[in-house]
């Protein structure tokens, strides 16, 4: 953006700033939606695992699970290395998944899309396994608060950039 300013293309710099602001707001809204959906799911003390993801009735391979939840196999392997889940191992040492694991992967995906790190995911999944729903809701509400703060800081930075653009345009700074 600064390069555009130096090249006296304030209009392009302004467009970039507006696009950045829209992206921040979009990420916030998406994160808020994901957290809202998670909150609804986990706040039910009678969580129905069958309702969390597509229903499967047999063991499926990692490539099949990858297609179902729309994530690369490499991502699933990273999650496994971070001990977010443990697949079922067949006699051939292949990874297999059942409905319970599919539901867990779906939950992990939502957590990661919300910007929650591996360590916090582990903690949330542990609390979920123990059915400590109030603890999970507190963690998610804190994440939402942090996201709001980040967005506010980003919007302030955009305002400062806009002020700089106006200042540089008005003072013939580059002449």
Question: How far, in Å, CA of 93 to CA of 108, rounded?
Answer: 23
- Bridge partners, residue 95, by sequence: 89
| Alpha carbons within 13 A on the beta-carbon side of 142 | 9
Contact at 8 Å (CB) between 104 and 125? Answer: yes
Q: How remote is the C-alpha of 144 from its chain's centroid? A: 11
Q: What is the pLDDT of residue 49?
A: 43
- Tokens, residue 92: 């051939």
- Tokens 């957590």 belong to residue: 111
* Among 167, 41, 63, residue whose Cα is nearest residue 114: 41
Question: How far, in Å, CA of 36 to CA of 24, rounded?
Answer: 18
Per-residue pLDDT of the chain (175 residues), as tens digits, is 444 444 555 556 555 556 666 666 666 666 666 666 655 555 543 444 444 445 667 898 999 999 888 899 999 999 999 999 999 998 898 999 998 899 899 999 989 988 889 999 999 999 988 888 888 888 888 888 988 898 888 888 888 888 888 887 776 655 6
| Alpha carbons within 13 A on the beta-carbon side of 157 | 11
Q: What is the pLDDT of residue 61?
A: 92
Q: What is the pLDDT of residue 136?
A: 87
pTM for this one?
0.61
């Amino acid at each position: 953006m600064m390069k555009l300013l130096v090249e006296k293309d304030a209009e392009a710099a302004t467009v970039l700033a507006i696009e950045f602001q829209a992206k921040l707001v979009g990420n916030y809204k998406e994160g808020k939606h994901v957290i809202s959906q998670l909150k609804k799911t986990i706040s039910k003390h009678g969580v129905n695992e069958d309702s969390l993801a597509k229903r499967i009735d047999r063991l499926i391979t990692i490539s099949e699970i990858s297609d179902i939840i729309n994530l690369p196999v490499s991502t699933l392997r990273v999650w496994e290395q971070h001990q977010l889940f443990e697949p079922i191992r067949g006699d051939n040492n292949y990874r297999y998944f059942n409905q319970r694991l599919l539901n867990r992967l779906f939950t992990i995906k939502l957590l990661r899309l919300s910007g929650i790190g591996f360590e916090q995911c582990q903690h949330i999944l542990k609390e979920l396994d123990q059915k400590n729903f109030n603890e999970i809701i507190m963690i998610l509400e804190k994440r939402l608060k942090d996201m709001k703060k980040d967005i506010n800081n980003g919007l302030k930075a955009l305002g400062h950039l806009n002020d700089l653009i106006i200042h540089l345009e008005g003072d013939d700074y580059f002449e």
